[in-house]
């Protein structure tokens, strides 16, 4: 009987566990700032901005990194009855206090037909202070520019407080009104555009490496390299042909190579041991 119960528990656990084949990007989790990444607009120390474009009829894949809010201090006045807030103000009590974050739920909206989202936790509900990811994937069947909000619902534990005249309130979990943590513009090309997709990187080999690697470009482009904390360690303009990248020059660790030209920005992950 115990074996049957144990097997049932394992099955339930696996059904509710990770489904999406994605991993949080350490470049973003290292920032320690709650939110959805990459950012749509540039922020300091973050070289990767926005999500990839797609082409109608071609496989699409994009990973979003989730950094979940920890317990925090906030003004809970908007969650309390107006009469309770009035009573607290009259008694000189502040509505700003420390609250526990129970969990945060994410929801992706606005994706074009053919593309779906999947979290690495089946419910898309993450406990406080955890990292996660959402995989956007599929084959788009319609072209255009789509507004894709990633909504966040934060469930907090209201502290139990005794308000003069009004009485005790709080001591329960409550959702903060849902809001868009990040809104992306996703462009799906119809495949007939006069500007064609160009793969600037013909080769990056070896990768990983312990000494030297070679980045070969098939078109003139600017090349910037950032380390894991967002510091630029290499910058070259109008590069043509190939670049030798040495451990002696940029060090060891995980790096992000940005190849930028008029028509495309490409990001390549490099590992130097």
Closest CA to 115 of 144, 97, 140: 140
Contacts of 103 (CB under 8 A, 6+ apart): 125, 126, 127, 128, 155
What residue ranges define each of the domains in the chain, with the CATH number in brackets?
Answer: 54-189 (2.60.40), 201-272 (2.60.40.3080)
Confidence of residue 202 (pLDDT cuts 50, 70, 90): low
CA distance 234 to 256: 10
Residue 19 is encoded by which pair of tokens? 């489904």
Element (H, E) at 108: strand 96-108
| Per-residue confidence (pLDDT) for residue 19, from 0 to 100 | 64
Contacts of 18 (CB under 8 A, 6+ apart): 120, 121, 122
Closest CA to 215 of 251, 269, 261: 269
More confident residue, 109 or 255: 109
Q: What is the DSSP letter of 251?
A: -
Of 34-43, 61-70, 176-185, the one with minimum mean pLDDT is: 34-43
Region 17-42: mean pLDDT is 84
CA distance 190 to 144: 8
More confident residue, 116 or 78: 116
pLDDT at 125 over 90: yes
pLDDT digits (tens, 9 = 90+) for 174-200: 898 999 999 999 999 887 644 344 444
Instruction: Note whether 154 and 181 are within 8 A (CB).
Output: no
């Amino acid at each position: 009987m115990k074996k049957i119960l144990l097997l049932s528990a394992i099955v339930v656990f696996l059904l509710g566990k990770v489904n999406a084949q994605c991993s949080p990007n350490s470049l973003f989790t290292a920032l320690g700032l709650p939110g959805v990444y990459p950012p749509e607009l540039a922020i300091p120390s973050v070289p990767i901005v926005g999500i990839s474009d797609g082409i109608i009829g071609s496989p699409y894949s994009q990973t979003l990194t989730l950094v979940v809010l920890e317990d925090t201090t906030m003004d809970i006045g908007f969650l309390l009855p107006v009469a309770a807030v009035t009573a607290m103000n009259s008694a000189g009590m502040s509505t700003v206090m420390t609250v526990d974050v129970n969990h945060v739920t994410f929801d992706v909206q606005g994706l074009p037909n053919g593309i779906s989202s999947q979290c690495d936790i089946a419910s898309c509900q993450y406990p406080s202070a955890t990292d996660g990811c959402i995989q956007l994937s599929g084959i788009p069947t319609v072209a255009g520019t789509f507004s894709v909000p990633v909504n966040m619902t934060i469930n907090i534990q209201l502290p139990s407080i005794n308000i003069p005249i009004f009485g005790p309130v709080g001591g329960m979990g409550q959702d903060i009104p849902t809001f868009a943590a990040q809104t992306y513009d996703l462009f799906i090309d119809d495949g007939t555009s006069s500007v064609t997709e160009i793969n600037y990187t013909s080769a990056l080999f070896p990768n990983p490496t312990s000494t030297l690697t070679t980045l070969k470009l098939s078109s003139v482009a600017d090349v910037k390299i950032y380390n894991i904390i967002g510091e630029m360690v290499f910058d070259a303009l109008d590069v043509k042909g190939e670049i030798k990248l040495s451990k002696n020059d940029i060090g060891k660790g995980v790096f992000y190579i940005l190849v930028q030209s008029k028509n495309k920005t490409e990001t390549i992950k490099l590992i130097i041991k």
